[in-house]
Amino acid sequence: TAAAAMELHVWPSDFGLPSIDPACLQFLACSKMCASPVTVVPSTSPWYSPSGEYPVVFDSSRPDAKPVTDFDKFVEVLRKSGQEVVIDGDLTTAEKAELDAYACLLAEKLFPALMHSIWVDDLNYSTVTQYWYSSKLSFPYSLYYVEKRRKKYVKMLGECSVKHLLGAALHTLNLLSAKLGDNKYFCGNKPTSLDAVVLGYLAPLLRLPLPNDTLQLHLSACPNLVRFVESTVSIYLPLTEEEMRRQRADKRMWTARLARAERDRKPEEKPKKKQEEEASEDFPLRDSIFFALGALTLSLLFAVHTGLIQVTVEDDEDGAMVQK
């Protein structure tokens, strides 16, 4: 198939995952879920990617083919690559619309909090992120890369408060838990591209040794989401013997770094963590409101997407929105 000529370059494995990067995990999971023969290349030279980031897919069978760095484009490439298993191939139009709505919700509500936790939170950044990337990249490029990427997310998040980011993310985790229920995957018994998207967000959140771990604790308290991550990783993203050996050798070092970070946490940071935990505890009070709004939003997105509702905006003096 055409996919056999494709190379998927990703950040290397760690913490029991084939890559620590959310986007890389999404590409990996999607390719494995449809049994694509894409060649996976763990890489530490992101300057070869047109985006300056991983993941990136190169197709050696087509010299004119542009490298793929967008998840939706990668899914489309996989669908057209002539494999027996077509990702999302069994979904109805309604199910695909719902899938798209959830993907948008995750990008808007969960992704920002995840990036804050990994790249912006000072303690998490210094304990895990900065150290990990600096150990993989050559000096002095490592200094340039980690600062550039951190500034990107600081700018993206702008003036958003930690409380706001956490609140939105905690709501979203609970919505995901309700959507999954007792099912193996989010659309039943077969994985879809939504499962790949969710896995990319949840797996690093569950596995990284983060000292400021409010989101991690909340995710750990959702047993069906934990089961989903553990099961999907073991089925589709198992580590090689060499990866497991290396990660076992590093485990003591990471445990020590986490313990030191928690011990040395500045006194002024402790009240902030307490506020974050309080935000987590406040969640049940707003459960019903959030689920109602979430369900309504998804239903409306589906209706608009499928043409059941057509929305136009009239420029009258009241600025009214007219539905037809």
- The ranges assigned to domains in the chain are 2-79, 93-303
Q: Is the peptide bond before 140 cis (omega within 30 degrees of 0)?
A: yes
Q: What pLDDT band is residue 5 in, cutting at 50, 70 and 90?
A: confident
Query: Could you tell me which residues come within 8 angstroms of residue 2 by beta carbon, excluding any fewer than 6 positions away?
Result: 59, 61, 80, 81, 82
More confident call, 321 vs 182: 182
Instruction: Look up the CATH number of domain 2-79.
Output: 3.40.30.10
Q: What pLDDT band is residue 32 in, cutting at 50, 70 and 90?
A: very high
d(CA 93, CA 308): 12
pLDDT at position 266 is: 64
More confident call, 4 vs 50: 50
Please compute the mean of the pLDDT values over residues 296-321 and round it to a whole number.
48
Pairing of strands 6-10, 56-59: antiparallel
pLDDT at position 306 is: 47
Task: Indicate the pTM of the whole model.
Answer: 0.83
Of 155-164, 184-193, 216-225, 275-284, give the lowest mean pLDDT range.
275-284
- Give me the phi and psi of 317, to 5 degrees please: -70, -20
User: Are the CB atoms for 129 and 119 separated by under 8 Å?
Assistant: yes
Please compute the mean of the pLDDT values over residues 24-38 and round it to a whole number.
94
Q: What pLDDT band is residue 91 in, cutting at 50, 70 and 90?
A: confident
Helix (H) or strand (E) holding 118: none
pLDDT at position 293 is: 55
pLDDT at position 281 is: 53
**pLDDT per residue as tens digits for the range 113-170:** 999 999 999 999 999 999 999 999 999 999 999 999 999 999 999 888 899 999 999 9
**pLDDT per residue as tens digits for the range 242-264:** 999 999 999 999 999 999 998 88
pLDDT at position 100 is: 93
Please compute the mean of the pLDDT values over residues 186-211 and round it to a whole number.
95
Q: What pLDDT band is residue 307 in, cutting at 50, 70 and 90?
A: low
User: Are the CB atoms for 30 and 70 separated by under 8 Å?
Assistant: no
**pLDDT per residue as tens digits for the range 20-30:** 999 999 999 99
Q: What pLDDT band is residue 319 in, cutting at 50, 70 and 90?
A: very low
Tokens 């930690």 sit on residue: 162
Q: What pLDDT band is residue 317 in, cutting at 50, 70 and 90?
A: very low
d(CA 127, CA 125): 6
Query: Whose CA is closest to 154, among 182, 118, 129, 104?
Result: 118
pLDDT score of 41 more than 60 = yes
pLDDT at position 63 is: 76
Q: Name the 3-class secondary structure at 182.
A: coil
Strand partners, 133: none
pLDDT at position 311 is: 44
Q: What pLDDT band is residue 61 in, cutting at 50, 70 and 90?
A: confident
More confident call, 252 vs 284: 252
Average pLDDT, the chain: 85
pLDDT at position 65 is: 83
